[in-house]
A and B are shown apart, each in its own frame.
Chain A
Amino acid sequence: MFASDVAVVPREGEYKIKTVDLSLNYGATTALKRINLGIGAGEITALIGPSGCGKSSFLRSLNRMNDLIPAARFKGQIFFDGQDINSPRTDVVELRRRVGMVFQRPNPFPMSIFDNVAYGPRIHGMRSKQLLQSKVEEVLRAAALWDEVKTKLRHSALELSGGQQQRLCIARALAVDPEVLLMDEPASALDPISTAKVEELCTKLAKRYTIVIVTHNLQQAARISVRTAFFLNGELVEAGDTEGIFTNPQDKRTEDYITGRFG
């Protein structure tokens, strides 16, 4: 089955993001082949697949992070709330505000916890100290970190544990009021307790944000996502309800991957 034949699951009109025949090359290397995938609004969509399958390339395409790679060449379209994000009229800074990103390794700035979170709002013009304070508290609470850091907001963010740093990065992403959060293996560098906290946080945030998460941890995808998309060799092999993908996948390649027969 070719990617363009894959039925996307959410109903038309419920997509926050939709790709149409999205292909991506890095020079001579093909990273994505005609991907048609809808990302449901207010849901967690997990992207799974072996290393090099294209899932992170797909994720980075959604807020044009691949623009930073000179050899990257696109074909096809990506619609965000119905607008083609690759159109010349798109304000990339505004796009990345609306489509935030959390990376695999926590990457707090070498500054205080407060300043890490306030960084984005300041860049976007928020000057009032009172507003900044209230925004920092709001998003640290949303990221389930407030109680742990409220007495040390002026301390360096680098003093926090790995799990706390990752939640801080999530808070930092939330501080600019995004609509979508892209997460590239956000818990892969964390211990099981911190992982559980990040997963719980994702589930909580999904009530308000659309989340797309790349993960190598199949159990994590099964636990937190509503939809799952399986990528292989740059193709979207299968996308559907997570329950269906993990109990009764329709494509043998999906079955073989998630049951550990290859990968």
Chain B
Amino acid sequence: MVRNGFRSELDELQEDILKMGTKVETIIYESLKSLANGDLEMAKRLIAEDDAIDRMELEIEKKCLTMLALQAPLAGDLRVVGTALKLITDLERMADHAADIAKVTIRLDGQALIKPLIDLPRMAELARGMLRDALWAFTNRDAMVAMKVIRQDDEVDSLYKQVFRELLVLMIEETKNINQATQLLFVAHRLERIADHATNLGEWVHYMVTGVRKPLRASGVNPV
């Protein structure tokens, strides 16, 4: 009954999740970079990259379902496979949001920004950090780090509120800012959602490690 073959399949699954997570982290970083630099070529490449991440999700999902059908995992192993299925959904959604940010870069079409980007990159950096920590917690079975990820969501939410107020002021001051400010607001919202998905990752990893699934934060009410 000792199942070495299954053990190596689980190791492979972990590697796949890490690869997907690393790609998602990169696309988040580059989406902000494309926006800050008005880099249309990079933005187009990122949109194509999102399709590749979608394919990764499908491949990992198939592996998980096959493992459930053929290996009937239980206890800790079941939680790893169940968590993997949830993680890839959140990772895929994070990449979608990053691709949406790249689409904003294309919509702005190289126009000068109405304000220097300060808080948006900070939001992106925080969200990426949450993603990195969630992946670390997943690999190292670390419930404490998973909890840290969950707590960090508040910082992103408060930055979002700040960006929202700032852009609102810019729109009130100058109506010609409305178009671009709305686009930047959209970016802030995408980043806030990315952090929410990173929080989900933290919650699922916490469950995977502890076996206890319980609400770890207040309901996801929009922070604004």
Contacts and interface: CB of A to CB of B under 8 A. Distances in A.
A119 interface: no
Interface residues of A, number: 16
A259 B212 CA distance: 18
Contacts of A218: 72, 74
A79 interface: no
Given A219-B72, A248-B211, A260 B78 contact: no
A185 B67 CA distance: 26
B118 interface: no
B79 interface: yes
Contact of B2 (A245, A249, A254, A263): A263
A117 to B, nearest CB: 36
B211 A259 contact: no
Contact of A260 (B3, B79, B210, B212): B3
Contact of A254 (B72, B75, B78, B79): B75
A251 to B, nearest CB: 11
Contacts of A261: 2-3
Contact of B79 (A245, A248, A262, A263): A248
Interface in A127-151: none
Given A219-B72, A259-B73, A246 B78 contact: yes
A179 interface: no
Contacts of A222: 74
A260 B6 contact: yes
B211 A258 contact: no
A260 B211 contact: no
Contacts of B212: 248
Interface in A66-101: none
Contacts of B73: 259
B218 to A, nearest CB: 25
Interface string A236-263: 0000000001111100001100111111
Nearest to B211: A248
A259 B75 contact: yes
B1 interface: yes
Contacts of B76: 255, 259
Contacts of A254: 75
A247 B78 contact: yes
Nearest to A258: B74
B75 A263 contact: no
A219 B1 CA distance: 14
Contacts of B3: 259-261
A239 to B, nearest CB: 15
A261 B79 CA distance: 16
Point out which of B6, B74, B76 has the most chain A C-beta atoms below 10 A from its C-beta.
B74
B77 interface: yes
A263 B74 CA distance: 14
Contacts of A247: 74-75, 78-79, 211
29 contacts: A218-B72, A218-B74, A222-B74, A245-B75, A246-B74, A246-B78, A247-B74, A247-B75, A247-B78, A247-B79, A247-B211, A248-B75, A248-B79, A248-B210, A249-B75, A255-B75, A255-B76, A258-B74, A258-B75, A259-B3, A259-B74, A259-B75, A260-B2, A260-B3, A260-B6, A261-B3, A262-B1, A262-B2, A263-B2
Interface of A: 218-219, 222, 245-249, 254-255, 258-263
The 7 closest A-B CB pairs, nearest first, are A248-B211, A260-B3, A263-B1, A258-B74, A259-B77, A260-B1, A255-B75
